[in-house]
Structures are given as C-alpha cells and as structure tokens.
Amino acid sequence: MLTLERSPEFPRQIQKMFGAVASKYDFLNRMLSAGRDQYWRKAAVDLLSPKKGERFLDVATGTADIALEIAARHPSSLKVMGVDFSGPMLKLGQKKIAEQQREQTITLQKGCAESLPFAGESFHGAISAFGLRNFSDTQRALKEMHRVLKPDGNLVILEFSHPPNPVLGWIYLFYFHFLLPQVGKLFSRHDTAYSYLPQSVAKFPMRDELTLLLNQSGFQCATYQDLTFGIVTLYHGIKNG
C-alpha cells in the first residue's frame, strides 16, 4: 500500500507507480483535466520565458510535454534537458521527441531531483510541472534546482492547489477525491495511483507556504498565481545574481 510518509521506500514506491501507469499517463491527463493540462503547461513555459541560445532543465519531465513546449518556442536555438526517475515515462517521452523531430534540441536523462547530475550554474531556467509533491525531500530538490541555475536564472513550479472559492472548492474536492480516483483506476488499471494524487495534494504546501519554502531555498522575489479558479498554481522564483 502506497503511503505518503517520506520513508526510505517512498522514492521506489513512486517510481514503481509512475512506471505502471506510464502508458495511460498522457491520455488520463487530457481526460481528467478536460484538456486544461495543455493550457497549464503553456502558461508555465510562458512564465519561464525561454530565449534563443539558452539552456533549460525540466525536472520530473515525465513524458516530456513541458520539454517539448519549451523546444517549440525556439526549435533550433535552445537546449532542453529533461530529467525523470521513471524509465517507462522517459521511454514514452523519447518516442514523442522523435515523432516531433526534436532530438537535436531535447535530451532526456534518468535521475532524481534531490541529486541532479549537473554542474552548478548550468542552466538559464528550470521548471517542474506536477512533480514537486512527489519528491522525497522537497526543499533539497529546490536547493538542487537553485544550485544548477545560472545567476538571475528563473525557476517555475506548476502544482495542483485547492480553489479558494468555497463553492468551487467543494465541487472540486468532490471531483478530486471521489470521481477522479475511480475514473483513473478504471482506465489505468492501477489500484492506488489516482487515489494517491488527491492525497498528495492535500498534504502538500500551497501558495504562501510554498512561496516561503522557495525563499528559504535561496530564491528571490518568489511569487505565485492561480490558474483555472485556483485548481493549479504557478510559482516563480529567481536565483539572485
């Protein structure tokens, strides 16, 4: 049974879970979000603001949707490194990269956020979409992203939240905690993956708490903005130059 305590077994459990649902991951993302996940990722990359000639890191890249969105902004004049600890997810991501002929722009590598295999000050920007709450040590992962960023480099985090409006919040919680796990289980054929999702969101720091954690991890001018009535939140921080 998958638990949320960050025990020594937690990374292995999460890795196994994502490997098991990899083949249905993109399909369920689109269906369960009514296609809004694509808009959220575009908004996250807009905030990252990639420019020609720059190098970017996508942490918990999964099937490489964010990496592909970054690459689409300047296909021939920037580089994207995607990191994930799930081999099956990376395999699907590599297939998508090949289909879109982005092999010269995007490189995928297996690795974990808490110990990134890159030298300090290697990237102009870093981003993580729906990955931060799955890391075994959130602050260590943030500090690692801070370490590998160049001075004045941008960090963008995209994560689930709870809508602040009470009525919308009630509707959302009913969907998120009751309907989504059942639909996810039906299509993914995995008993716990889509019940883990709302549990992990419920226990994860949001908005002011996560902004404070960004500041404590070395990022300056940390801010957040809600999308789609607060279902998800974008966070932004800058490494002090």
Domain membership of residue 128 as a residue range: 10-239
Residue 59 resides in a domain:
yes
Q: What is the CATH number of the domain that holds 61?
A: 3.40.50.150
Residue 217 resides in a domain:
yes
Residue 2 resides in a domain:
no
Residue 231 phi/psi, 5-degree rounding, is -65, -40
Contact 93, 60 (CB under 8 A): no
What is the total count of domains within the chain?
Answer: 1
pLDDT tens, the chain, 241 aa long: 333 445 667 777 777 788 778 888 888 888 888 899 999 999 999 999 999 999 999 999 999 999 999 999 998 899 999 999 999 999 999 999 999 999 999 999 999 999 999 999 999 999 999 999 989 899 999 999 999 999 999 999 999 999 999 999 899 888 888 888 888 788 777 777 777 777 888 888 899 999 999 999 999 999 999 999 999 999 999 998 7
Q: How far is CA 173 from CA 46, 163, 170, 226, in A?
A: 28, 9, 5, 17
* Predicted local distance difference test score (pLDDT) of residue 8: 65
- 203, 196, 163, 205: which is closest to 177 by C-alpha? 196
Residue 134 resides in a domain:
yes
In angstroms, the CA 203 to CA 133 distance is 9
How far separated are the first and last CA of the chain, in Å rounded? 45
Using the structure block, give the residue that is written with the tokens 């720091």.
205
In angstroms, the CA 202 to CA 186 distance is 22
Residue 202 resides in a domain:
yes
* Predicted local distance difference test score (pLDDT) of residue 7: 64
- 51, 54, 52, 115: which is closest to 83 by C-alpha? 115
* Predicted local distance difference test score (pLDDT) of residue 179: 84
In angstroms, the CA 55 to CA 77 distance is 9
Residue 108 resides in a domain:
yes
Q: Taking the CA atoms of the chain, what radius of gyration do you get in angstroms? A: 17
Residue 195 resides in a domain:
yes
Residue 3 resides in a domain:
no
